């Protein structure tokens, strides 16, 4: 039984955790292996994150699985990632379903290979009635492009008379994002020691707590996740107010 898990206050959990899963290549290089070896050994870390969320009932987990910029990586590495994704979806679909999780995908999935897209849509359909939690995969995803698409779609609706300019506010704008049905991100975690956002959920993390970990992604464990939750709970989230205002509320 995890001693760190016992420190978690179940009344103060984030509703939405997002993770930038970074460090697979460096993990493999430290073992004198090719980068693809790191990607193949990252699956256990993904399971750890999903299982940890499931155990403490965090309703939304978003994983930065493949960015729009990742298409620029060497073709061999991209092919390995796509094949691994298709294989993992096939093997893990029943596990995700049995946990009562509903899977969602955000990003430009039309860019994905047909087999990967087919497997994704199969799992999304298989799990659509599940209510225990939500697993969101960000695939071929870039936040700047998401925001630009939202602007273009709002502009089109204004032109067609469907939206009045004076009615455009944060709430309306959010309805044009991939994440329109999800709560904002409360906690963003990035592994590998890098301190940057990498074009991930730029709108959605406006008031998120950010945690940058030195651990490489394949070494990510449930206890590391639980410690992130404990650290999150030790923060005072002010949303632009003073600490005194928060305490008064």
Q: Which residues are catalytic?
A: 22, 70
Contact 39, 66 (CB under 8 A): no
Contact 108, 145 (CB under 8 A): yes
Q: What are phi and psi of 88, to 5 degrees?
A: -65, -40
Q: What is the spatial distance between Cα 90 and Cα 85, in angstroms, rounded to a whole number?
A: 9
Pairing label, strands 16-20, 101-106: unpaired
Contact 201, 141 (CB under 8 A): no
CA 140 to the chain's CA centroid:
12
Q: What is the spatial distance between Cα 192 and Cα 27, in angstroms, rounded to a whole number?
A: 9
Contact 183, 60 (CB under 8 A): yes
Q: What is residue 133's three-state secondary structure?
A: strand
Residue 171 burial by Cβ neighbours in a 10 Å radius (0-12, 13-18, 19+): exposed
- Strands (E) in 23-82, as ranges, are 60-67
CA 228, 247, 242 angle in degrees (round to 5)? Answer: 85
């Amino acid at each position: 039984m995890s001693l760190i898990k016992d420190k978690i206050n179940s009344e103060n959990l984030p509703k939405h955790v997002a993770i930038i899963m970074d460090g697979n290549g460096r993990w493999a290089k430290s073992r004198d292996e090719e980068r693809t070896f790191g990607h193949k050994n990252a699956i256990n870390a993904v399971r750890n994150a999903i299982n940890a969320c499931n155990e403490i009932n965090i309703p939304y987990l978003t994983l930065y699985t493949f960015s729009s910029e990742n298409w620029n990586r060497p073709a061999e590495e991209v092919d390995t990632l796509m094949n691994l994704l298709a294989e993992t979806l096939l093997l893990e679909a029943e596990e995700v379903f049995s946990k009562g999780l509903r899977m969602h995908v955000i990003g430009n999935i039309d860019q994905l290979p047909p087999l990967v897209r087919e497997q994704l849509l199969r799992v999304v359909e298989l799990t659509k009635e599940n209510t225990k939690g939500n697993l969101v995969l960000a695939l071929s995803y870039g936040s700047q492009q998401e925001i630009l698409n939202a602007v273009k779609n709002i502009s089109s609706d204004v032109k067609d008379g469907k939206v009045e300019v004076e009615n455009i506010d944060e709430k309306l704008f959010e309805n044009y994002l991939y994440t329109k049905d999800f709560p904002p991100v409360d906690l963003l975690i990035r592994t590998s020691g890098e301190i940057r956002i990498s074009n991930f959920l730029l709108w959605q993390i406006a008031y998120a707590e950010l945690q940058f970990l030195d651990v490489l992604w394949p070494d990510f464990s449930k206890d590391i996740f639980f410690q992130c939750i404990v650290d999150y709970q030790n923060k005072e989230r002010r949303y632009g107010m003073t600490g005194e205002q928060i305490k008064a509320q």
